[in-house]
Copies of this chain bind each other. A is one copy, B any other.
Amino acid sequence: MNPVQFYKCLADETRLRCLMLIEHEDELCVCELTEALDESQPKVSRHLAQLRQCELLLDRKQGQWVYYRINPSLPDWAKSVLQQTNEANKAFLKVNLDSLFRMGDRPNRVASCC
């Protein structure tokens, strides 16, 4: 993982908030992120695709939903950066977490093993 490419991924508000929300919630689908961020679906989807191409995120398709999670194969330093950023910037994420928890009709998780 080239550190410049890694930080370019974090250097956009939409992408950083997506990463932090996913880090916080372990796994989120596109519609949840779209609601939490109050952004258009194509915009969120485009940024998620970029994070997937750079291998910061993995996705898992389940029915009509696509769930994104942090790539566990990221180097330790990168994972650590994401964790620390999250822990030290809770106020930054609050508005998005509030929207997420207020959201109705969130899809039911089914474990990927079933």
CB within 8 Å of B: which residues of A?
A: 2-4, 7-8, 10-13, 16, 75-77, 80-81, 84-85, 87-89, 92
Contacts and interface: CB of A to CB of B under 8 A. Distances in A.
Contacts of A2: 92
Contacts of A75: 88
Q: Name, among A4, A12, A75, the residue most crowded by chain B CB atoms within 10 Å (CB to CB).
A: A4
Contacts of A12: 4
Contacts of A87: 77
A31 to B, nearest CB: 23
Contact of A77 (B4, B16, B89): B89
B77 A84 contact: yes
